[in-house]
Structure 1
Amino acid sequence: MRLYVGCAMWQHPNWQEKPLPPAERLHNYASWCNAVEGNTTFYATPHRRTVESWSRQTDPDFRFVMKLPRTITHDRRLTGIDDEMTNFLDAIEPLGRRLHALWVQLPASFVSLPTLASFLDGLPAHYRCAVEVRHPVFFENPRATAQLESVLEAAGAEWIPFDTTVLFTGPATSPAEAEARAKKPHNPRRTRALTEFPIVRYHGRDDVAATVAGWQPWIDTTVAWLREGRSPTIFIHTPDNAGSRTLARRFHAEVRDRLPDLEPLPDPIPTDPMTLF
């Protein structure tokens, strides 16, 4: 029984007293969390040697959920992308089993299920795929929901919910919250898993108590998934993400309070200077 938790990044200015060398940042993060969102690949395909470094810094059981480049999902909208996909898959190949899923984040205007079905059908069979949709029709229209689920289930793909309901509850209380609300989608919470490997993105608030209170439905859902034999991955976001690493561990601890047999997270590597007191 194993739960994976992580953040939207593996480095943040607030996470170390002094910045770590690039070759140590992911290694340090991986002592706090056992999964990470690969958001940087949305903007550019990384060099293969960079990905080799990521592999060296993590254990084989660490999970990367790697976002496809925007040229594939947003610019070309999953069509005419054979060369781009080949280059991307070659670049991330050094991750090996660490690559948990290819993350297909679709633009809010995307509704073409035949295009999505064709894309998923064309992927090499050994890649696990997870899709994040943002168009409201998939959340508000039961027929559209069922059609999307049918496409995903036929391909063995998961639906990634991005739960921002807590973020949009009440007025923004800081510039960071206002900026997050301007950029993030606002769709109903979805908790149905389609595969053995559900993936959730949860967005909280600046206020820790509000963030923790808001994730309680996900605690219940995650416990149920684990009891069913699923292997979920939960990513914790906050407006500035300064506390997300600690919050991810807290989420894991709350689930483990309910399921004591759950495998614990590793002990974090200390990075702050030692003191006498």
Structure 2
Amino acid sequence: MDIISSCSQVQQTCMQARHSGRTLALVPTMGYFHQGHLSLMRWAREYCDLLVVSLFVNPAQFGAGEDYQHYPRDLDSDVTAASEEGVDILFTPGQGSLYPEDYATWVEVEGMSGKLCGRSRPEHFRGVATVVCKLFNLTCPHKAVFGQKDWQQLIIIRKMARDLNIPVEVVGRPIVRQEDGLAMSSRNAYLDREQRKAAPMVYQGLLYARERFESGLTDPGQLERELERYYQKNLPQGEIDYVQIVDCNTLDRPDTLKPGALAAVALKLGPARLIDNILLG
């Protein structure tokens, strides 16, 4: 495995590989790898000749007062894990190489970026779209693989690639969960013992929402209210950021529940902000 930090070097290497007819896949990450990340690498490894994993804690997607400085990092462990998964290039750019002092260009997907997580994190998806666009330009992938836990991010990146005519297939892969249902996330490291014990209720609430849909509930507003009450009762130590039912492709609120609706939630549990989702139907 090659570890490359230079933007020009990784771009030249990937362009040469693509020109020679090799297929490239990119897995963008912020590191601190868990089984969710590794599942993306394993899937991508099966569909490409050259697997690139980027590791960059992107300051542009963190707002004021958020956890950029404290975001978990363990480069040595990440290098070992990536090598064991057959990664060909681990791209580890420095902040200055992606955002030089005079940096002034941003990518923003209007509309979608202001929904769900974007309501409480208004600059977040501008930072996400910008850095992913740069990574696409630098690594020239045929496929880019993202986890579905960040469903809003996945939909926004797909639209960005489509709108900007970037020749990449944006692939979403299923959420990887702990045995008790908690969606794997680097931020789970923030949870203390009691918070970790309570955290699976986030997913249990989503299963409850699915059951209510399957029992015939068709009013999205009623389902949102019932799910909020579920969390207030079963996860009282959690602070609800949002509980919303949206169309899985547009992120718009449907008038009536039908298959393809997405129940999406974000709750703060201690220092950790936990997001999760489930498809209805």
**Greater strand content:** 2
Q: Which has the higher contact order (CA 8 A, sep 6+)?
A: 1
